[in-house]
Structure formats: C-alpha cells, structure tokens
A and B are shown apart, each in its own frame.
Chain A
C-alpha cells in the first residue's frame, strides 16, 4: 500500500516538475496541464492514442521489471524491441502467429548475446546491452536503406508488413496480449518455483546459490524472458500500429520501459498502471508538440524525474529506518 502511494507521489511530482520546466521558458503551467490532459484523454481519438502508446510501454516495462527482479541489468530493451520488429517483419508472410513468435525469439536471442558475454567472458551486461542497442539501431538503418527498402525506393522504409493484428474497434489485439503478459508474469514471479528462484537470485545471488538455485541458469532464463517481452513489444508495434519499419521505429520505447518498471517498483501488475500513466503522458506530450511547439521530449523528462523522485523517497525512507 505504501509503495503504491510512493509511486503516485513520484508521478505527481514529475508532473509538477514538468510544469516548472515549462514555466522556466514562459509557458503557463495551467495551459500545459490543460493541453496534456486534452492530448491524453480529451477525445475518443486521444484516449485510443494513449492506449496504443501504453501497449509497448507495458511490455518493455515488464521486460525491464523481470530482469531487474533477477538482479540482471538489462538496459537493452530498445535493441530487443528493434530486432523483434525486424524478425516480425521477415516472418510476417507466414502469418500473424509466426510473426509474433519470431519477434519473441529474436528479442530473446538478442538479449542472450549479453548473457553469453557475461557468463562466458565476464562482460558486464549493463554495458553490453546498451552497446547492442546501438548495434540494433544501425542494423535497422541498414535494413530499411538496403535489403528491406520499399520497392518504390522513395523513402528509407520498408513496404507494408505482410500481416497485421486483428483490430478491436480502432485498437488492436496486442492490447489484450500485453495485459495477459502482465498477469502471466505476475503469476510466474510471485506464485511459481521458477519465480521464487528468480527473486532469490535478484536479492542475493550467493545465498541463492547456497540454497541450491542454479544462479547462472536463472540469470540466462530471466534475460531471455526479458528480451522476449521487449521483442514482442516490437512485433506488436509493427503489426498493430506502424505497419512498416523505418529508422526511427523504436522512438525510445525500450529506454522508457526502464522508467515504467521502476515507477511500478518492479511489480508486474503495478506496471500496468505505470505504463498507462506514461502512455497518457506520451499522448499529452504529442499534443504539446503539435499545438504549442514544445518538444515531445518533455515525456522523457517526466519519466526521468519520476524515477529520481522515487529514488529520493526510497533513499530517505532507508535512512529513516537506519537511524530509528
């Protein structure tokens, strides 16, 4: 209960700081909030937009949450998102299911490169996953400018993908997939033996090892699961929203996933709320950019401040407990 309140407080503080940043450059806070609200929930179209942005955030948020719970620093959701979408594109001629499976496998495989480098060579995954993000980004750039470029060869983008997710109104079935993933992941982490091993590894790997947990296998499994979720996010985004690949396909969904997971304090169910908050914020930020020409980067700014405020609360709380 207390942690839920802390999360809300951090979210509110992030919004206030955002308004302060706007005020610094002469935008009235009231106007900023009004436009944010309009862009996020002001119309049916706006609400749908917010939900569509929530889906990838929820999945990358879950991806980060599962890795961090296992004590593995997967900062690579961005790259796993991209290779997931690439694989989904290539497998799309074989149908939606094949396409999504390909996305999941590609994301898991990309993340597992970092696992291999850590377990075999001792390379810290916090760096290798980031370096793999840049690698994936340029791989995508090569694909859409080279072998996968649209037949008209006009823009650096692919042709339309051969499959698409079934639609629910103007949303797509990926919304349900993401929700199912959140509940399934909660069940796995909190209610299964595998989840217990995962949490034990995250809390104290040497104690887990002594208790008979195969820590290396648990790390490899969590990393693959984490990559799979981010890859799925990329596949769903391609098949449900963009329909094409282009250079700026990922737009930071992977990095935002870190903020989503941290605000939810790595709880899979709370991740739904946290993703909704940041999804709505992204929708609102888009409107800020359209109507006030304020950079949509404010959404990133708010994500970061929410995390920092949360860190502050946790640190102060720990201090208080120590001193008492």
Chain B
C-alpha cells in the first residue's frame, strides 16, 4: 500500500493540479455567496484559448496568459448575469457550460481548417505550475481570505450580504473580486490541462473536472486545508486508476474511467449533509 502511494504520488500531484486550481478558485467565489457551475465551461474555454495563444506565440507562458484571458471572457458573462443582474446562478452556470461546449466545438473546427498545426505546441514545464498550485496559491488564498479586510468582507458577503450592505461596502464588487480570483485560477487550470497534461485541445476535454471541483469544495468544508486534502485524496484515487490500467488488473478500462465520478459521488454522500455551506450561497436576493 505504502509502495503504491509513493509510486503514484508524482502522477497524482501532476494530474490533479488543474483540479486543485479550480477547487481553490471556486472556494473563494463560494465564500462570497456565489456558486459558479460554469467553472467547467470556464476551464474548457481557457484550454482552447491557451492552445491558440501558445501556438501563435510559441511560448507556453503566454499560453497560460491566453488561458486566463479566455477564462475572463467567460467570467465577464457569468458576472453580468449572476452578480450584476442577479439571475439564477445554477441556470446561468448551466447555460455557460452549454455555451462553452458549443463555442469551443465550433471555433476549434474553424481554427483547424485554417492551420492544421494547432497541435504542435511549445513544451510547458509542469513543475513550476505544480509548486505554484500546491504551495504558493493555497497560502495566498488562505491569507487573502482570512487575514485581509477584503477577505473578511468577501466571507461576510457569503454569510450575510445585508450586513455588508449596511457598512456601505458593495456586495456586488466584492463578489466580482472573488470572481476575478477564480478567473485567474480557472484560466490557469484550463491552460495546464491543455498545455501540460494533454498537449493540445480536444472537444469537451475538461470531462467534468469542474463539477468534481465543486464537490471537493463541499468535501473540504469551504476551507483551504480541506481543499488541499480533498484534492490530494481524489488525485491519489485517480492516479491509482491509471496504475490499475497499466497493471492489467482485469478491471475493464471503461469501468475504471467511471471510477473518479463514483468516488466523488460517494464522497458527497459521505460528508455533504454534515457540513455547513456559507449562509447565503446561491441565493438570488441580495
């Protein structure tokens, strides 16, 4: 067992890096009282824009910036509907996922028609992003949320937006700030997925990672430590799945593919009822 854990550790960390970024981003946003189901679509769009920019500039670093830009376009749309217009957050997120699926599917084929070379991409170093995701960003998020006035107000927006309004601080702007943070992390996640983990774009390549991220936020009780722990456990479960695939264990390949989703379901079933969400999460009034 210990041997297995040690042997899959590098793979577990590498493969769950985009997931962790998404979890942290969604954690910040949900702390402000907004649930973004559209993070799946945000990562998908970021994956495509990252591939396009990396291909044209021949720089992986600019590719990551391109991913953030793509995520920002999606976030702008989500913010206008869910924050400014106070439309239903679940419906907005679902529509954004459909939009991302349709738009990337359509645009990718159009782009391929022009340059079939879209799959030749600069090599991206995995290690810096992994260190960033597993050490620097969690620390930053924790400090920002729990040790700054901005973080205090963001969390207050999630618990009692009326109280924030009474201090004459803007609930909408704090939520927009939280969304901006999620945008950066979601953009990096999508770019990592395409540039490091898969070396290219593929239709619907996020394959539900956004939804798994949302589940891990719940599992981690909206805390950074919980997010790290949840993602690590999940990463090890997923990596053991690859190890099982490679070792010819006799478990059919397609059932192994279902494993991450079943594990997430079990995790949700195990903890969801016993944790307390931010009081105002997902509510339309104020």
- Whether A297 lies near B270 (C-beta < 8 A) is no
The verdict on A269 contacting chain B, using a C-beta distance below 8 Å, is: no
Please give, as numbers and ranges, the residues of chain B lying within 8 Å of A305 by CB-CB distance.
99
**Other-chain contact of A259, B98, B214, B218 (Cβ < 8 Å):** B98
Q: Which of A121, A133, A145, A316 contacts B273 (CB 8 A)?
A: A121
Map CB proximity to A onto B81-121 as digits: 1 under 8 Å, 0 otherwise.
10001111011101111110111111111100100000000
* Inter-chain contact A138/B258, CB cutoff 8 Å: yes
- The prevalent SS among residues of B at the interface is helix
Contact A138 B254 (CB under 8 A): yes
Within the assembled complex, what's the spacing in Å between the Cα atoms of A135 and B29? 27
Which chain B residues border A294 with CB–CB below 8 Å? 106, 109-110
Which residues in B have their C-beta under 8 angstroms from that of A301?
Answer: 99, 102-103, 105-106
> SS class of chain A's interface: helix, strand, loop or mixed?
helix
Q: Which A residues lie at the B interface, using CB under 8 A? A: 21, 25, 73, 75, 117, 120-124, 126-128, 130-135, 137-139, 141-142, 145-146, 252, 255-256, 258-259, 262, 293-295, 297-305, 307-308, 311-312, 314-316, 319
Q: In the complex, what distance in Å separates the CA atom of A311 from the CA atom of B110?
A: 28
Q: Number of B residues whose C-beta is below 8 Å from A? A: 51
**In the complex the two chains form, what is the Cα distance from A24 to B113 in whole Å?**
14
Residues of A within 8 A of B86 (CB): 315
Q: Residue of A at shortest CB range from B103?
A: A301
Give the contacting residue for A304; candidates B98, B268, B272; CB below 8 A. B98
Q: Which single residue of chain B is at the shortest CB-CB distance from A307?
A: B95
Q: Which residues of A contact B257 (CB under 8 A)?
A: 138, 141
Partner of B91 from the list A21, A297, A299, A307 (CB cut-off 8 Å) is: A307
Bound together, the chains give a CA A25 to CA B85 distance in angstroms of 31
Given A145-B252, A301-B106, A312-B85: A126 in contact with B90 (beta carbons within 8 A): yes
Most chain A Cβ neighbours within 10 Å, of B88, B92, B106, B255: B106
Residues of chain B at the chain A interface (Cβ within 8 Å): 37, 77, 81, 85-88, 90-92, 94-99, 101-110, 113, 203, 207-208, 211-212, 214-215, 218, 252-255, 257-258, 261-262, 264-265, 268-270, 272-274
B residues less than 8 Å from A304 (CB atoms): 95-96, 98-99, 101-103
CA distance A124 to B85 in the complex (A): 24
Q: With A124-B272, A130-B211, A134-B208 in contact, is A312–B81 under 8 Å at CB? A: yes
Assembly CA distance A318 to B204 (angstroms): 34
B109–A293 CB distance below 8 A: yes
Cα of A122 to Cα of B272 in the assembled complex, Å? 6
* Known A123-B268, A138-B257, A293-B113; contact A258-B37, beta-carbon cutoff 8 A: no
B203 (CB) vs chain A CBs: closest residue: A297
Q: Which residues of B contact A137 (CB under 8 A)?
A: 258
Q: Do the beta carbons of B37 and A126 come within 8 Å of each other?
A: yes
